[in-house]
Amino acid sequence: MSRTILYNLIRFVVLVFVQVFLLKNITLYNISTPYPYILFVLLLPFETPNVLLFPFAFLLGLTVDSFYDTPGLHAAACVLLALVRVLFISITVQKDGFDNEPEPTLSIMGFRWFFTYAIILTLVHHTFLFLLEAFSFLDFTFILQRVLTSTIFTVILMLITGLLFFRKRERK
């Protein structure tokens, strides 16, 4: 159990470091911004209790907020992400028979499940984040464009990360 905690702590630090120091100022045409730091919440083990999941998500968002000077935007979006994660996993994992799997990674769950999981959760996170950031529906087409392009950019980075650390594994 302590190995899992250490592994997730390292994942937290590395993802926040990459987000803050490498990807903070990277945008494509001032529209698409990658936020792969949310991969930390997505990859937490299935058995992570909600009592820990929501504070971890809040702490992750608050850490990113402190570097982005956005008071609470990322924290709120990460807590919503954690809620949607709980709902998505409760619907799909029991239905598909993945109960014995320890965590929702690309190598364990398979490409189709992980891609659906990453797209839906990233889309929810980005929609909430960009709507909160704009705090208006006046330029809804621009917000929608930012949400869609940032979601695609973020999911591509997540898939590349998942494929880099992909371990072939047979299901029982």
The DSSP code sequence of 69-138 is T-TTHHHHHHHHHHHHHHHHHHHHHHHHT-TT-SS--HHHH-HHHHHHHHHHHHHHHHHHHHHHHH--ST
- Do the domain assignments include residue 101? yes
- Number of separate domains in the chain: 1
- Do the domain assignments include residue 89? yes
Which residue segment(s) compose the domain that 106 sits in? 2-164
Sign of CA dihedral 119, 100, 107, 40: positive
Range with the poorest average pLDDT among 6-15, 57-66, 74-83, 158-167:
158-167
Specify the higher pLDDT residue, 22 or 99: 22
- Do the domain assignments include residue 172? no
Q: Is the pLDDT of residue 107 over 80?
A: no
Smallest CA-to-CA distance from 118 within 106, 128, 130 is with 106
- Do the domain assignments include residue 169? no
Cα–Cα distance for residue pair 116/74, rounded to 1 Å: 22
- Do the domain assignments include residue 49? yes
- Do the domain assignments include residue 116? yes
Range with the poorest average pLDDT among 59-73, 86-100, 104-118:
86-100
Smallest CA-to-CA distance from 47 within 98, 95, 81 is with 98
- Do the domain assignments include residue 9? yes
- The stretch 150-164 carries a mean pLDDT of 91
Q: Is the pLDDT of residue 113 over 70?
A: yes
- Do the domain assignments include residue 86? yes
Quick one: pLDDT at residue 165?
Answer: 75
